[in-house]
Structure 1
């Protein structure tokens, strides 16, 4: 939904909704506003007496209630449409506020919710087909999850809207991510932030004993010895340039240094479509669910996704990935258990090219990074992809389990040497006290960490932002 990038500039949204109001009122013959700017809604003829859906008595959900939504709203609903348009126009232009207005009086999934969501898309000048596709996908997801009540799915709905409307960097969404990140880093904060606060309180100045204690804190948080030495050296230089030895300013220096460390290097992002992404990593890191979450995000952003089951060795791996593909609405390709992984890759690329997919996520067998023959197989997969579709795979993403600490650092090193790693996704960050590995990976390998896993839900795979990480970790 590229057209939605325009509404990122919030100062344009009010005028856009104004325009939508006037066009919709002209189209439907709705009443004008009073000169004072206060909305007035003319009462309908006595014989009509429509009841706006927002105040209608809720009914138990039935299969018919959750059928394919229609953009056409019956004439009796015109009063609530007018009220909703006026409320959206007057509201602060934030997704969370718009959604609260849309959900007012709605307590469960059903026709009333579908109508209101379609109405929101219309007010934002979304093409009808894309709006209906969004609502239909969400309806199917609710059916799969057996969610009915709004509190069960409100967070998921807002997340999907943020992706579809390209509003993930909106202030409200960033605040939600920061809160989630802070909660996920709670165990790591015990190891780093709180100990640093104790260090600052116990020293009157930043001296050699201060640096020695800091080294111990970093190593205990799984930053590792060499990365800790690099970080301390950089911090020494920053403190020296600031011309102060006041411990009270140390968190400020550390936050600034972390933000610098996490700045992703420039790279060429343009590709010859379809984009082919090879997913690599050892067993048990959560690669399969990460693929599903990436496919989910891409689908919500309007991309057509194909998932290929290149892990042909692990029991039930293919079936598991196929279930996830169906769940998120992505295409799926497999040659069955025991097939040659390189052949799967070659034919999957061919399918992606010939059938017009935008993105191919190629799963590979989880493997021990110390197994040379399995690493050679990854190289073969890379070669055959490039033969079928020059330039592919365009990215190799290493999925790493944050709870493994220093072992994750070793994985990044050996996979990088064998097949090259373009970026890292760090899973299970919410369940570890070893979050210092994030710093270690950035310092040792200069690899961008693009996403972090903060839970089991689809919405819990979030873009990594160095500034937010530093803020969540240090509480500054």
Structure 2
């Protein structure tokens, strides 16, 4: 799905209008918690339901779309405007002659160059800048980065000039004016919160939001941008791993025992781990013998292929009844709170209505911190008083989400390892309670790990897996460590998908993980 309802139809294959008779979600407008009051008297709070503020209002979309079969969801991403970006598209099959009317010729889709054209319904004469921008967009390559160049041409700061140019682009894409204004209003509020004014400070974030809202994150240009970000984030790991392998290959001409011993030492130094190192070595040896080549290029190609093959893709959860419930687990300090905020931000930009539940009622200021982040990204927020039963928070949050029409709930949990037994029992109880409240819940359990901890991350995976089945892993702080090899160790030892990696502090720095791109970033 996407942020804009009209884009959802344009990007799809059928373009059929949605059933207007279906009920629309109406977000509640309960006032937010006063943060200062919460800090001053947390013990007097009984329940703190703080749904999405006005700026978090989700774009209305029929609920029927959430229950559509998987194959229909795939079909939506074919054809239409997505062909302009090389994202796939199915050629319409010729219908049987018996079903066709002989007199009618099949209609061909409009040519790509007609994407940006003068709208026949325009009442006023376009301003000179609009004509110029329309011509530039019409002649440009169908790439989001190229559009951004033209949209931001001559714009140096946030303000009316930027908003007018964005409105014009959205109008050309037939985005409803109300939804376009909602996108701009959210972004402007975020700029004010972050105190960003100059284009250079927010250009990347704007492109990130546009890619999510327009469903263009898989566009080639965006993937190249992600690859560059990943490659830069893996700089320290590349120095520790790849450069030392290059030196080893330059010094030896044979894959003898001494070579494999040195290679295993290099992998261990990059925190690939003993078991994973032995497994990689076991897989590589026969392939190198079969290749028969002794050059460095062949070795690196096989190494890259082997690394990419160890990673598995996250499964799409089956949600029979909304909302989808995501349980977030991990130790304190791993970046769980900011990861929740970044995931909520992504979901908001993709058109989902998100609720964040403060299930860590143990750590001081955990509730207040999560509330600040939820408000910043425009998500709804649910909490109870400090020291409340976390399972009760999770249960009531899902109940509240069902009542208010949320379709995604992130449940935060405590991460105190010093009371390991209590923590494990608490997670088990939360799982049981969620399952009783909503069938299949939690639909996903995401473990957040700090990649700078190296081999300690393996023990955390083992520990948390004992209390709750882990469906996905998010690795944070990958940009600040030489221990990026821990990704390989986790994938090989636990066979758990890695869904996202953290490459910085900004919202856009939480990126979908690709094993192929990870291997390429290390060796290309």
Q: What TM-score, normalized by structure 2, do the two folds share?
A: 0.78
In the alignment, the residues of structure 1 paired with residue 180 and residue 495 of structure 2 have an alpha-carbon distance, to the nearest angstrom, of 40
Cross-structure match for 2:336:
287
What is the alpha-carbon distance in structure 2 between the residues aligned to residue 122 and residue 17 of structure 1? Answer: 17
Quote the residue 1:446 is aligned against.
495
1:48-447 mapped onto 2 (5 Å cutoff): 75=124, 78-264=127-313, 269=318, 271-368=320-417, 371-447=420-496
User: 2:434, 2:441 within 8 Å by CA — same for their partners in 1?
Assistant: yes
Alpha-carbon separation, structure 1, partners of 2:453 and 2:318:
30
Write the distance in 2 (CA, Å) between the matches of 1:283 and 1:403.
Answer: 14
- Whether the 8 Å CA contact 2:84–2:112 is kept in 1: the answer is no
Shift of 1:27: 2.2
User: Could you list the per-position Cα deviations for residues 223-244 of structure 1 after superposition, in whole angstroms to 9, with x for gaps in the alignment?
Assistant: 1111110111111132233233
Change (3 A) 1:102 1:267: closer
Separation in 1 of the partners of 2:195 and 2:483?
36
Superposition deviation, residue 325 in structure 1: 0.5
CA distance in 2, matches of 1:470, 1:451: 15
Instruction: Give per-residue Cα distances to partners, 1:375-398, cap 9 Å, x unaligned.
Output: 011010011111111110000000
1:465 and 2:478 aligned: no
Matches of 2:379 and 2:314, distance apart in 1? 31
Number of the residue aligned with 2:71: none
Count of matched residue positions in the alignment of Structure 1 and Structure 2: 428
Distance in structure 2 (CA, Å) of the matches to 1:250 and 1:233: 14
Q: State the partner residue of 1:66.
A: none
Which of 109, 114, 121 is 1:18 aligned to? 114
Moved more, 236-245 or 88-97: 236-245
**Matched residue, 1:38:** none
Q: Which whole-Å CA distance do the structure 1 matches of 2:205 and 2:176 have between them?
A: 22
Let me know the Cα RMSD of the aligned residues: 1.9
Seen in structure 2, the aligned counterparts of structure 1 residues 325 and 81 have a Cα distance that, compared at 3 Å, is same
Deviation of the 1:179 alpha carbon: 1.4
**Offset of residue 282 of structure 1:** 0.8
Measure how far apart 1:106 and its partner are: 1.4
Q: What CA deviation, in whole Å up to 9, does each residue of 1:228-283 have, x standing for no partner?
A: 10111111132233233444411101100111111326565555321100000011
